[in-house]
Amino acid sequence: MHNIFAANPSEMVVTWVTMQSTHASVVKYGVEELSRMARGTQDVFTDGGQEKRVMYIHRVTVTGLQPGIKYSEYKILFHFFSFCLNHKNNF
């Protein structure tokens, strides 16, 4: 998982990689609870090595962030079978 600051200070791009295609790329986020949700995209990437591994790069732009507010928790949701990753961070 990787966070990228966007040109707009009220946005951040969250990216991660999976080895299988998923039905959705979703980030839930909030200040005190996970009350907001952003959906994103999934792109296929095939590496240039001998194995030609296929990976899926997920990108979600989180919007409506306010400068000076600490968003200390978010959850990345991606489903092949009902799997999600919880992450606590300050962004």
Domain range annotation of the chain: 2-88
* Predicted local confidence at residue 2, as pLDDT: 64
Whether 84 shows a pLDDT value over 50: the answer reads no
Band (pLDDT 50/70/90 cuts) for residue 5 is low
Q: Model's pTM, two decimal places?
A: 0.75
Residue 30: which of 66, 1, 79 has the closest Cα?
66
Rounded CA separation 69/63 (Å): 13
Helix, strand and coil percent figures for the chain, each rounded to 5 = 0, 50, 50
- Per-residue model confidence as pLDDT tens digits over 56-69: 999 999 898 888 88
Q: Give the per-residue pLDDT at 23.
A: 85
| CATH class of the 2-88 domain in this structure | mainly beta
Indicate whether 51 pLDDT > 90: yes
